[in-house]
Each structure stands twice: as C-alpha cells, then as structure tokens.
Amino acid sequence: MPDASTPRFRHAVVTGGAGFLGSHLCTTLLAEGTAVTCVDDFCTGQAGNVAHLTGHPAFALLPADVTEPFDAPGGPGAAGPPDLVLHFASPASPADYLRLPMHTLETGSLGTRNALALARRHGARFVLASTSEAYGDPQQHPQSETYWGNVNPVGPRSVYDEAKRFGEALTTAEAGAHGTDTGIVRLFNTYGPRMRGHDGRAVPTFVRQALADEPLTVTGDGRQTRSLAYVDDTVRGILAMAASDLRGPVNIGNPAEITMLDLARKIIALAGSGSAVRFVERPTDDPAVRCPDITLACGKLQWEPCVDADEGLARTIHWFREHAAA
C-alpha cells in the first residue's frame, strides 16, 4: 500500500501547460512527485513559464496543437502512460480569444475531444478547466453550480463562453457514453505571477499601468465586480478535484467580491504608485457581477481559498516589478 509520500498520480499530461495557470500546475505536480508532460502550441503560452522546469528528469515538453490528435504514451523517465489529464489549453483572456476566435472554439471542441480520447485510451482521470464565463452575465448572485447561466451565444465573448460550455457538455457525454473518469472545474478570475501584462485582464493591466505610473483604465463606472483567486489557491482546488471522484462541475474561486474601481485603487496603493484612474468604455456583454458559491468545494473537497487580496496582489506586483527589471 502506498505511504503518505507516494504521489497521488504517477504521470500527468497538462494541456496548455506553458500558460499562466498551466505552468503553475506543472510546477506543483512536479514538486509533489508526479511526472509531467506539458502540451502547448504557444499561441498564448510562453516557453519562459516552464523554463525553470526544463532539464527536470520528470518533465517533458510536447509542442503540439490539441485540435489535432496527440499522445503521451510513455511519459518522462520511467513514468509510464498518463493517469491524469488536465485539459487547460485555451486562450483565456478577452484580448486573446477575440484575436483567435476560431482557434478558441476549436480548442474547446476538437481539443477537448482529443484530450478526452487520450484519457480514455490510458484509463486516466480527466479534469476540464471550465470557467465562470459559463454563467455569462448572471442573474443569480452568487453563482452556484446549479445555475444554467445567462450567455449571449452570438456576442463578442461567445467564442470563449460557448467553447467552454460545449467542452462541459462533451466531457459529461464522454463519462456517460464511455465511462471515462471525468471532472469539471469552473474557475473564477485567477491571478498571480506569470500573467502577461498586455493580456487584457484587469489585474495584470492595472499592475502594469501602476508600475509605469500610467492611468489605470477602469471600464464603465467601475462598479462591476469580480472575485479574485490567487493562483496557489486555484491550483490547490484543481488538484483536490483531480484527486476526488467528483464529476462536477465544481466552482473554484474566492467569494471575496471587489469592484473594479476598488481593485484599481488597491493596486495603486500596494504598488506605491502615483497613478490616477481613467474611465474608459465598458466592453459589450461585460458581466456586472461575478462571485462563486463555493459550498460544494468546501464540503466535498475540503477546499477554500486562504490567500487574501492584499497578500496575493502584493506577491503579483513584486513579480511584475522583478520581471520588468529583468
């Protein structure tokens, strides 16, 4: 029988593993003793995010587009075939999925199908990274997993929203039709080191602007809210889901809600910046509120976030400051 030091998984395949969140998953899995194959086509991921892992005997980088069939039958070292597939490949910021609309839809459909096929071939546990965007501009607040959402299927955000919603449907059908061991996590606004300053999301945009003493561009009147989860907390939640037998979906996020105007002011203060706030036009279909009900994650996964906004944002600002200096 394995002892407490035995990793839960022998070999994990992480699609989108060179992205912001995927690279943190790769790092944590390796630290826990799991061999990792990182699959990425680098349309938004960056080689620098996993540069610290290259040369690790239990890490392999597979450049591949998941919209085409792929495999990782052997794994790095003597890991053997994968027993965990984490499907995190997808453009995830508005700037990226609006630039890559067809690829976003294909990654959510064809990419999910191919990642599921990989898990089925090897009898692996499969976890899909879905999103709070599945709730659209919600009419239920906070959002629980039983809420079906309020999504505009032909709006500018639909390429991402509907790709993820289709991925959820495909994952659910796979489990029913083939008995594949699947799980779905709906992630809420994760932030932290390794985000790209120009990816269009609020935290990296505000941090970049604050460190350059530029005006922070707050959309609309800034009263729209988000719930921000520090990346370490999100990774813990994802891996707790992977180690469970839940199918989900399960919300993984921080229920501490904040307005975009308050977020901008907080980042200015934490960065010691002289920046002001400048209001700009709010994007079409931008959700008015976003806050997860995490009752299911707390009860079934014994998971809850523990890094508060001040600590998480301070760590993020420090990383951006060091990265800019480098």
Which domains can be identified in the chain, with CATH numbers?
A: 11-195+229-255+291-307 (3.40.50.720)
Per-residue pLDDT, 256:
95
Q: Helices 202-211 and 260-271, interaxial angle, to 10°?
A: 40
Per-residue pLDDT, 7:
75
Per-residue pLDDT, 324:
73
pLDDT band, very low/low/confident/very high, at 75 (cuts 50, 70, 90) = confident
CA triplet 25, 158, 186: central angle to 5 degrees? 35
Q: Helices 112-122 and 158-178, interaxial angle, to 10°?
A: 30
- Lowest average pLDDT, out of 70-79, 114-123, 233-242, goes to 70-79
93 has a pLDDT exceeding 90: no
pLDDT band, very low/low/confident/very high, at 6 (cuts 50, 70, 90) = low
User: Following DSSP, what letter does each residue of 45-92 receive, concatenated?
Assistant: --GGGGTTTTT-TTEEEEE--TTS----SS-STT--S-SEEEE--S--
pLDDT tens digits along 37-72: 999 999 999 999 999 999 999 999 999 999 999 999
Residues above pLDDT 70, as percent of the chain = 98
136 has a pLDDT exceeding 80: yes
pLDDT tens digits along 102-134: 999 999 999 999 999 999 999 999 999 999 999
pLDDT band, very low/low/confident/very high, at 2 (cuts 50, 70, 90) = very low
Per-residue pLDDT, 1:
34
Catalytic residues, by residue number, are 160
The residue type of 8 is R
3 has a pLDDT exceeding 50: no
Spatial distance between the Cα atoms of 111 and 106, rounded to a whole number of angstroms? 6
Q: What pTM was estimated for this model as a whole?
A: 0.95
Per-residue pLDDT, 85:
98
Query: Strand, coil or helix: what is 125?
Result: strand
Per-residue pLDDT, 4:
43
